[in-house]
Structure formats: C-alpha cells, structure tokens
Amino acid sequence: MGIQAEAVWDAGDTGCGELLLELRARLSGLRPGQVFELITRDLGAPADIPAWCRLTGHTLVSQEHPVYRIRRKES
C-alpha cells in the first residue's frame, strides 16, 4: 500500500452525514500532513469521499473502495 496511516477507522456501512460528521472529528485529531485510513462500505462513498476532500481541503491519497486514505490539510 506504500503510505502508512496514522489512524484507521472502520466505519462499517456508515455513509453520508453520519459518516462525514464523525470523519471531520477524527481528522481534526491528526496533525497536518498525517494520513488517515477510512474504511466504509457505503455505496455512496466512492463519489462522496472525493467530494468531501475537495470541500474540506484534505487530500485523497488513495481510493480503493472500501479503503480511503486521506492526508490532513496543513491548517
């Protein structure tokens, strides 16, 4: 996989608002530049997680559903 994640969260089949609100909280606990690994089997995730990253400024490092690696933004 290459990149080592600082934290991992298996969100099961959680998606949409329930997922994003919790994801925001978990990302805020990381330092800028650290990578978070999200696992979600939600059917909307392949479209939703990239959109969320564009909205929030975090970087989607890799996307291999159901595994998403997100690098926390600098500020």
Partner 1 sequence: MANRFCVSLTHAKDNSDKATVAFVVANAALGSGKETLVFLSVEAVRLSQPGYADDIREEGFAPLRELMENFAKGGGTIYVCSPCFKKRKLDENRLVPGAAIVGGAKLVEFLSDGSPCVSY
Q: Which of residues 8-27 bind partner 1 (CB under 8 A)?
A: 16-25
- Compose the 38-67 pattern: x for residues touching partner 1 by CB under 8 A, - for all others: --------------x--xx-----------
- Whether residue 18 contacts residue 29, with contact meaning beta carbons closer than 8 Å, is answered with no
CA 74 to chain centre: 15
10 Å CB burial of residue 9 (0-12, 13-18, 19+) is middle
For the CB of residue 29, give the shortest distance to partner 1 in the complex, in Å.
14
Nearer to partner 1, 24 or 65 (CB): 24
Q: Which residues bind partner 1 (CB under 8 A)?
A: 16-25, 52, 55-56
